[in-house]
Chain A
């Protein structure tokens, strides 16, 4: 029996060895300066928007929709979603995912023919998968294509020595689409200075091309990379090539560079938007300050930084997406098609997962379960539900059909991994199965 005194003792035993960051003052002050710049930039942007809006209203008539400002909560009228409502899963009768989606769950070999382990980064839609090959414990080196159509052949796109003078090369994020692949990697030369490199490939052997280099350490590097047509879109969440040196979690800047390489161009309209998937960004305001409860954080917009299309995001009026402290904070995050949040009881306790379209329509809640990830453009949600006897079950939920399948057996709640990867841009989800890796390939859905 765990007494309160036992708990005190064990909490201290757990936490006391934890080390604080050495000499934190300079870093805290740097972050404060960034926050201040961000607030100033936001104020200036709002002022510019107001001036432009007044000018248009006074002299040029009403604004056209695509000229409307990207002010959180005020710029874009919600556009009714053309998608059907989300369908709630039947969490009481879950079956293994490979039984629920036999045509979309593929079994891949557990290891490459040479014995190396790998992780699946995405599907190319034709039986080929972009993979990252494990080079050492918890590190990856090669980016490659595993072709299941021809006896699981492997085409290596990059090697650890891809960059001239590079002594360490660590791929971080990869994006596979029918248009091609791109990835970002941390690279260090003999001077041990880290940079972030953006690479793209046409999928032929050793066709990897370095298309951009972003100076800066690992804390100020791009957050996402995507292939959109003939361009690579990436997000900068830290200081580096842009004029808006921002912290992770800051307003975000998105850049575009040709897949063939060149000077990255800041997409002006993206300022204040975080990359979500493809060319879409979101200006969901940060609500992580003690004053967040009073911020107008429930309304924001999604912006396609290449086409200029905007989608307003509004919580369903019936939603109970309230924060732990009962404030008005809205915890949903959106792709252009789907938004995901945690539904809450009146006391702010999490009661389940909530999904809706950005315009607020199609809202459904699950019974008690926690979201841990999304993929497939937000259509597929990974959740975890509590079972009797302190066990938990992971599952994947297709919000379009309501189908849900488990991956892996239930496990003890205290042995469960809570690793979360919120990555709507990924088109696959893989987990270990008997005899290999099981992959839910969203490109195989109609």
Chain B
């Protein structure tokens, strides 16, 4: 317990500080346990790979923990999602650095084994991956996380107008891609 004085900066005692740390740690751990499943699903839709999604979420949460006490409690979820978006966006640069977690096989070259039988889920996954990052992020935030345009803009650090245009373009491309694949499936 402490008493804040209105005109003086409050200096926490060592015991207070320790208590606050313990409470913050506990809050963070609870946040990680409760939100990791949903955040992993969100990350999966951005990157299309389950193990990569787990990796992205853990890295984003680690970065969040570094700033945990400075994040507005009402914006924690948005902060983590922004971190996930940025982690996902930097994936290709991490691959450039060849620092990605191995899949247990030599890396395949683009162009090898490019086709495969796709069911509906796989078709959607591939269609999402074909979207530019901004469109994919906007679509996932709007239609998977059900965020408003303003909330989506906050996560993406862009204007509401950009969210509208990215969502519209992404949706149009998804419709075209999925309609095409369904047609192909029907013919086959």
Contact = CB atoms under 8 A, between A and B. Distances in A.
Nearest to B54: A21
Nearest to A132: B106
Contact of B124 (A10, A138, A323): A10
A416 B177 CA distance: 11
Contacts of B1: none
Contacts of B109: 119, 373, 419, 421, 429-431
Interface in A152-205: 170-174, 186
B97 A274 contact: yes
Given A284-B93, A417-B112, 15 more contacts: A2-B174, A10-B120, A18-B40, A20-B37, A20-B40, A32-B65, A323-B89, A324-B85, A324-B158, A326-B158, A347-B158, A390-B176, A415-B115, A415-B118, A431-B112
A4 B173 CA distance: 13
A293 B156 CA distance: 12
Contacts of B105: 138-140, 170, 172
Given A420-B92, A421-B109, A293 B54 contact: no
Given A16-B41, A18-B40, A11 B126 contact: no
Contact of B32 (A24, A138, A384, A411): A24
Contacts of A31: 58-59, 61-62
Interface bracket on A: 35 or more
A228 interface: no
Interface stretch (A79-87, A217-225, A255-263, A309-317): A217-225
Contacts of A331: 93
Given A15-B144, A247-B59, A422-B95, A290 B82 contact: yes
A413 B174 CA distance: 10
A203 to B, nearest CB: 19
A117 to B, nearest CB: 11
Interface bracket on B: 35 or more
A364 B102 CA distance: 33
A289 interface: yes
A252 B97 contact: yes
B184 A325 contact: no
A407 B112 CA distance: 10
Contact of B175 (A2, A171, A287, A392): A2
A15 B46 CA distance: 10
Nearest to B117: A415
Contact of A138 (B42, B83, B99, B104): B104
Interface in B126-169: 126-127, 129-130, 132-134, 137, 139-140, 143-144, 146, 156-158, 162, 165-166
Contacts of B82: 290
30 contacts: A8-B144, A8-B146, A18-B44, A19-B37, A24-B32, A28-B32, A31-B59, A32-B65, A119-B112, A174-B106, A218-B101, A235-B99, A247-B59, A276-B97, A289-B63, A324-B156, A325-B156, A325-B158, A349-B132, A408-B114, A412-B177, A414-B118, A414-B126, A414-B127, A415-B126, A415-B181, A418-B129, A422-B93, A422-B97, A423-B107
Interface centre among A171, A324, A420 (most CB of B within 10 A): A324
A432 B112 CA distance: 6
Contact of B125 (A14, A36, A286, A324): A14
Nearest to A324: B134
A296 B37 CA distance: 34
B108 A412 contact: no
A354 to B, nearest CB: 14
Nearest to B123: A414
Interface of A: 1-2, 4, 7-8, 10-16, 18-21, 24-25, 27-29, 31-32, 34-36, 119, 121, 132, 138-140, 170-174, 186, 218-219, 221, 223-224, 235, 237, 247-250, 252, 274-276, 282, 284, 286-290, 292-293, 323-327, 331, 333, 347-350, 372-374, 382, 384, 390, 392, 394, 407-408, 411-423, 429-432
Interface in B23-40: 29, 32-33, 36-37, 39-40
A419 to B, nearest CB: 5
A331 B89 CA distance: 10
B63 A35 contact: yes
B15 interface: no
Contacts of A11: 45, 124, 140, 143-144
B144 A237 contact: no
A136 to B, nearest CB: 10
Contact of B99 (A4, A13, A119, A237): A237
Contacts of A392: 130
Contact of B101 (A8, A20, A219): A219
Nearest to B162: A347
A408 B110 CA distance: 11
A258 B98 CA distance: 22
A430 B110 CA distance: 9
Contacts of B179: 1-2
Contacts of B140: 11
Nearest to A8: B143
A132 B58 CA distance: 33
A289 B88 CA distance: 11
B100 interface: yes
Nearest to B113: A417
Contacts of A171: 106
A288 B40 contact: no
Given A138-B105, A419-B108, A429-B109, A326 B157 contact: yes
A247 B132 CA distance: 27
A4 B144 CA distance: 10
A29 B90 contact: no
A181 B134 CA distance: 41
Interface string B42-57: 1011001010011001
